[in-house]
Amino acid sequence: MTSILTNVAAMSALQTLRSIGSSMETTQDRVSSGMRVGEASDNAAYWSIATTMRSDNMALSAVQDALGLGAAKVDTAYAGMEAAIDVVKEIKAKVTAATEQGVDKAKVQEEITQLQQQLVSIASGAAFNGQNWLVYDNTNTDPTNVADKTVVSGFIRSADGTVKVSTTTYTLQDLPDVAAGTNSNVLFSTVDNDDHTQSAGGILGSVIDDLGVTAASADWDAATTIVNMTITDYTDADMADALSLVEAGLQQMTKAASQLGSISMRINLQEDFANKLTDAIDKGVGRLVDADMNEESTRLKALQTQQQLGIQSLSIANSSSEGILSLFR
């Protein structure tokens, strides 16, 4: 039936054209934004997952920055400890040379004194952003003066949705006690003395008993330290004691450097993992919400063709009623 009041064909063509227009709008939005799920109304589940993982990625980015800061502190301490080890090796060589009869111990002492001062300079200068892991004053009550030094090592999201930041702790041990199996990992433990010549702990400020060395010299047992060592008037027995003390200090420093090296290695591994994890999360989120541009561009071209055909169909449907006029001529 043909009606001049109700054009069913035109209504059908118009409905189809509206549907095509809606699909084109969605496709054009995906093409322009590059996202298949741009808001919760597109896909609530995927949008929620993507939003959560993006926030985790931002947290991981902050963790990477913190790892860089932690690595800088550890590397500074390691560089200082390594430099101090080289100096103590030189002291060891000088003490060994001084054991030879006929050697001018006064001249050797001058060299050792300079090396001792260099140890103080190294310990004082090995600081990053105000933190020095080679010197610890256990008499300082300042809240910032803590023995436990921490560096951020990761960001964790548990299965129950809770999140936390993991840290690695490096405890500054000022007083060694080899007999009890305790090693010191700081060079000095100062007692109100900036040049560390009155140290009461640390590897370079500990008495011979704490370092686990037995000496026959009464003067040596009376709290003579590596830093205050004076070999000018030493007997052969005293020189042997001095050499033993230097060797004990060198072993303590080597252990401390190994600890710092292990932490540095872990931080480097964590940095690599954080980079890979960030990339993996980006890829995972992309699979959920990113639009396939090849598919969307092909769909857009098809919709444009359908739109043109829909316009032509609507034009034909509207022109069909014009034929009725010819019946009245």
263 shares its domain with 195: yes
Same domain membership, residue 147 and residue 24: no
Q: What angle do CA 43, 303, 301 make, to 5 degrees?
A: 105
**Cα 292 to Cα 296: distance, rounded to the nearest angstrom:** 6
Helices (H), the chain: 8-33, 44-98, 105-125, 218-221, 236-289, 293-320, 323-326
Task: Give the per-residue pLDDT at 241.
Answer: 79
Establish if 94 belongs to a structural domain.
yes
Sign for the pseudo-dihedral over CA of 60, 61, 64, 66: negative
CB 216 within 8 A of CB 241: yes
What confidence category does residue 220 fall into, taking pLDDT thresholds of 50, 70 and 90?
A: very low
pLDDT above 80: residue 104: yes
Instruction: Work out the average pLDDT over 62-75.
Output: 90
Q: Is pLDDT above 60 for 49?
A: yes
Residue with the bigger pLDDT between 180 and 75: it is 75
pLDDT at residue 76 is higher than 90: yes
For 188, which DSSP code?
Answer: B
pLDDT of 233 > 80? The answer is no
Cα 285 to the chain's mean position, in Å? 23
Domain check: are 18 and 148 in the same one? Answer: no
Task: Give the confidence band of 89 by pLDDT, cuts at 50, 70, 90.
Answer: very high
CATH of the domain at 82: 1.20.1330.10
Judgement on whether residues 76 and 25 belong to the same structural domain of the protein = no
Same domain membership, residue 107 and residue 13: no
Query: How far is 122 from 116, CA to CA, in rounded Å?
Result: 10
Query: Would 139 be classed as within a structural domain?
Result: yes
Q: What percent of the chain has pLDDT over 70?
A: 88
Q: Residue 75's pLDDT is what?
A: 94
Q: Note the pLDDT tens digit of each residue in 239-297.
A: 887 888 888 889 999 999 999 999 999 888 888 888 888 899 899 999 888 888 888 88
- 132 and 13 in a common domain: no
pLDDT of residue 219: 40
Using CA atoms, how far apart are residues 301 and 206, in angstroms rounded to an integer?
Answer: 81
Whether 230 maps to a domain, the answer reads: yes
Q: Are residues 79 and 174 in the same domain?
A: yes
Contacts of residue 159, Cβ cutoff 8 Å, sequence gap at least 6 = none
Between CA 247 and CA 257, with CA 252 as vertex, the angle to 5 degrees is 120
pTM more than 0.85:
no
* Rama region for 192: left / alpha / beta (φ>0; ψ in -120 to 50; rest): left
Residue 222 scores a pLDDT above 50: no
Task: Verify that 186 and 307 share a domain, yes or no.
Answer: no
Dihedral-angle region of residue 115 (phi above 0 means left; psi in -120 to 50 means alpha; beta otherwise): alpha
Residue 328: pLDDT above 80?
Answer: no
Whether residue 280 lies inside any domain: the answer is no
What is the structure's pLDDT at 5? 72
Query: pLDDT tens digits, residue range 287-309?
Result: 888 888 888 888 888 888 888 88
Alpha-carbon span 279 to 58, nearest angstrom: 12
Q: Is residue 251 assigned to a domain?
A: yes
pLDDT of residue 218: 38
Residue 82 falls within a domain, yes or no?
yes
Are residues 143 and 218 part of one domain?
yes
Q: Cβ-count burial of 315 within 10 angstroms (0-12 exposed, 13-18 middle, 19+ buried)?
A: exposed
What is residue 215's predicted lDDT score, i.e. its pLDDT? 63
Mode of pairing for the β-strands spanning 131-132 and 127-128: antiparallel
Q: Let me know whether 103 and 228 are in one domain.
A: yes
With bands split at pLDDT 50, 70 and 90, how would you rate the model's confidence at 226?
low
Q: What per-residue confidence (pLDDT) applies to 223?
A: 41
Question: Do residues 241 and 226 touch, judged by C-beta distance below 8 A?
Answer: no
Closest by Cα among 41, 128, 43, 153 to 78:
128
Token representation of residue 3: 């009606």
Query: Do 168 and 107 have their domain in common?
Result: yes
203-229 burial, b at 16+ Cβ within 10 Å, e below that, comes to bbbbbbbbbbbebebeebeeebbbbeb
pLDDT value, residue 224: 45
How far, CA to CA in Å, does 167 sit from each of 48, 57, 99? 29, 18, 48
Comparing 227 with 33, the larger pLDDT belongs to 33
Residue 192, pLDDT > 80, answer no
Question: Has residue 225 got a pLDDT over 70?
Answer: no
Q: Is residue 163 part of a domain?
A: yes
Q: For residue 242, is it within any domain?
A: yes
Highest mean pLDDT (candidates 104-118, 127-141, 229-243, 246-260)? 246-260
d(CA 89, CA 11): 96
Same-domain status, 266 and 180 = yes
By residue range, what is the domain housing residue 132?
66-275
The total domain count for the chain is: 2
